[in-house]
Amino acid sequence: MSEKRVLVPGPDHPITITPAESAVTVRYADRLVASTERALVLQEANYPPVFYVPLEDVEPSVLQATAHETYCPYKGDASYYSLADGDALAENAVWTYRTPYDAVSAIAGHVAFYPHHVEITAA
């Protein structure tokens, strides 16, 4: 097995992490599943910004850990959760970097949601 490539953000691929300027709520299947005033905004290169919500501010009953994993050379290994509420199920809709690389260590203990599965509001 080959070593995973580890890259450091820089001018050619910047990553910034800043506190969200307002409260962030996340709704799934018409249910409030997260609400926080401690969200972080990760802006990576030219990608849309991503809200990272503290895991402790997410309703635990809607999260189901999955075996799905991905790898980002800038952030590390990502683990996933599905969202479940009654009959509604969104597989691998939430991700987290449990031990992110040093350059993005602020997102440890946070999760992010795929916006096509949830409604994210910052107000």
Domains and CATH numbers, the chain: 15-122 (2.170.150.40)
Of the pLDDT bands very low, low, confident and very high (cuts 50, 70, 90), residue 1 is: low
pLDDT of residue 2: 73
Contact criterion met (CB below 8 Å) for 17 and 41: yes
pLDDT above 80 for 93: yes
Residue 82's alpha-carbon distances to 37, 65, 89, 98, in angstroms, are 23, 6, 7, 16
Tokens encoding 68: 């799905």
Q: What is the tens place of the pLDDT at every residue in 16-74?
A: 999 999 999 999 999 999 999 999 999 999 999 999 999 999 999 999 999 999 999 99
Considering the chain, what is the average pLDDT of its residues?
A: 97
- Segment 77-104 shows an average pLDDT of 97
Question: Three-state DSSP class for 60?
Answer: helix
